[in-house]
Structure 1
């Protein structure tokens, strides 16, 4: 059954002259999803964006890592693996294309996961490699996504 998503993107960088010339405006914008807080965003700082705001590349990387995390928590729960903490420091590597355009060449997820004693760590590791079959975001990207999990047992 189809499932749809909506979003509103609103440019907030008109400093008074619109796009009269390249430096007449900022690359700031906002994303809003009905019923959720607005997120101020910008462009990649290398392209004139505000380094203090999220950019599309940040959000894609975060969406991919977040989807992976949520599926891991779900599948770990089903496998009887009790997770007590999860954090990830994913890295996306971009490459230049002819004409100067960039694209993600690959992403590596590096989750650090804390589990209760007695957890089957081999099963926990295996779960990570199943997730790309079910994670909506991972199934939607056209670049390789690696996984380098580190597990810690509480206690």
Structure 2
């Protein structure tokens, strides 16, 4: 098996001048800075006092899961002759906070709306979803169930 290395740079931006001198002395903000790519400003989950205008770790994980599924879907669709002209997903992750404040994802449901060319075999287009979980890097790496509830639109 071939190995792959991935790298990122996470830079805490929440020091208000006194660092972590006490719990309320600092912001839970940071930047994700990958060389050659735009910086992504992030914050803690709004439920935990974070900035709702910024991405948080849960947003990023759910988005990565959805994007990985989409990319594999498009790949398999092109191989199968399924012409996709649009793809949009609104995934939903379900989480819980346990005693002591530790949280985790319980599940995720991908809900893609996929626009396909007229005459597309929708049974074949649907079957593609069932192949993806075994190859998607992100889906294979999480320890919670991932399901999908997609639908198709026939292009006019």
Give the drift of 1:99: 2.6
Corresponding residue number in structure 2 for 1:59? 60
The list of structure 1 runs, each at least 4 consecutive aligned residues, that deviate by more than 4 angstroms after superposition, is none
Corresponding residue number in structure 2 for 1:130? 131
Give the drift of 1:17: 1.1
TM, length-normalised to structure 2: 0.97
Q: Deviations over 1:92-122 (max 9, x none)?
A: 0002334331100000000000000111110
Corresponding residue number in structure 2 for 1:121? 122
- SS of the residue corresponding to residue 87 of structure 2 reads strand
Q: Please give the alpha-carbon distance, in whole angstroms, between the structure 2 residues aligned to 1:32 and 1:73.
A: 28
Q: Please give the alpha-carbon distance, in whole angstroms, between the structure 2 residues aligned to 1:24 and 1:100.
A: 20
- SS of the residue corresponding to residue 106 of structure 2 reads strand
Corresponding residue number in structure 2 for 1:76? 77
- SS of the residue corresponding to residue 86 of structure 2 reads strand
- Stretches of structure 1 that go unaligned for 5 or more consecutive residues are none
Taking only aligned residues, the RMSD between alpha carbons, in angstroms, comes to 0.8
- SS of the residue corresponding to residue 140 of structure 1 reads coil
Q: Please give the alpha-carbon distance, in whole angstroms, between the structure 2 residues aligned to 1:118 and 1:82.
A: 10
Corresponding residue number in structure 1 for 2:103? 102
TM, length-normalised to structure 1: 0.97
Corresponding residue number in structure 1 for 2:19? 18
Give the drift of 1:34: 1.6
Give the drift of 1:23: 1.1
Give the drift of 1:46: 1.1
Q: Please give the alpha-carbon distance, in whole angstroms, between the structure 2 residues aligned to 1:134 and 1:60.
A: 17
- Stretches of structure 2 that go unaligned for 5 or more consecutive residues are none
Are residue 148 (structure 1) and residue 149 (structure 2) matched?
A: yes
Q: Please give the alpha-carbon distance, in whole angstroms, between the structure 2 residues aligned to 1:135 and 1:26.
A: 34
Give the drift of 1:37: 1.1
Aligned length: 155
Corresponding residue number in structure 1 for 2:6? 5
Q: Deviations over 1:48-106 (max 9, x none)?
A: 11111000000000000000000000100100000000000000000233433110000
